[in-house]
Amino acid sequence: MSSNMQKDIVNACATETINIITRDLGDALFSILFDEARDVPAKEQMAIVIRYVDKNGHAVEHILGIVHVTDTSALSLKAAIDALFSKHSLSISRLRGQGYDGASNMRALVAVVKTDVSIALLFTLVSNMVNVVGVSCKCYDILQESQVIRVLEALENDLQLQELNNHSNEVNTELLLCVACLSQNDSFSAFDKEKLLRFTQFYPIEFSIVQLVALDNQLETYILDIKSNAKFSNLIGISNLAEKMVKTKRNVLYPLVYRLITLTLILLVAIASVERAFLI
CATH of residue 19's domain is: 3.30.420
Same domain, 175 and 251: yes
- 190 vs 179: CA distance, rounded Å: 10
Same domain, 89 and 145: no
Predicted local distance difference test score (pLDDT) of residue 245: 92
pTM: 0.68
Average pLDDT rounded to a whole number, residues 212-223: 94
Same domain, 98 and 135: no
Same domain, 35 and 138: no
Same domain, 273 and 254: no
Contact in structure between 183 and 238 (CB atoms under 8 Å): yes
Predicted local distance difference test score (pLDDT) of residue 103: 44
Give a yes or no: residue 112 inside a domain: no
Same domain, 137 and 228: yes
Average pLDDT rounded to a whole number, residues 148-161: 63
Same domain, 238 and 272: no
- 83 vs 148: CA distance, rounded Å: 40
Give a yes or no: residue 115 inside a domain: no
User: b/e for 1-22, b at 16 or more Cβ within 10 A?
Assistant: eeeeeeeeeeeeeeeeebeebe
Domain interval for residue 87: 3-102+268-277
Say which residue, 221 or 135, is predicted with more confidence. Answer: 221
Q: What is the pLDDT of residues 43-60, one digit of tens each?
A: 777 788 899 999 999 988
Same domain, 62 and 42: yes
Q: What is the pLDDT of residues 46-96, one digit of tens each?
A: 788 899 999 999 988 888 888 877 776 667 777 888 888 888 888 888 888
Q: Name the residue type at position 18.
A: I
Closest CA to 212 of 223, 198, 226: 198
Environment class of residue 215 by beta-carbon count within 10 Å: exposed (0-12), middle (13-18) or buried (19+)?
buried
Give a yes or no: residue 140 inside a domain: yes
Backbone angles phi, psi at 45, to 5 degrees: -140, 155
Give a yes or no: residue 114 inside a domain: no
Backbone angles phi, psi at 242, to 5 degrees: -65, -45
Predicted local distance difference test score (pLDDT) of residue 153: 67
User: In the chain, how many domains are there?
Assistant: 2
Give a yes or no: residue 110 inside a domain: no
59-68 and 44-53: which strand pairing? antiparallel
Same domain, 235 and 272: no
Q: How confident is the model at residue 141 (pLDDT cuts 50, 70, 90)?
A: confident
How big is the CA angle at 37 (ends 48 and 101), to the nearest 5 degrees?
A: 65
Partners of 38 in beta bridges: 44
Q: Which residues contact 184 (CB under 8 A, 6 or more apart)?
A: 226, 232, 235, 238, 240, 241
Q: How confident is the model at residue 271 (pLDDT cuts 50, 70, 90)?
A: low
Same domain, 90 and 145: no
- 262 vs 51: CA distance, rounded Å: 11
Q: Name the residue type at position 138.
A: K
Give a yes or no: residue 124 inside a domain: no
Same domain, 17 and 143: no
Same domain, 135 and 226: yes
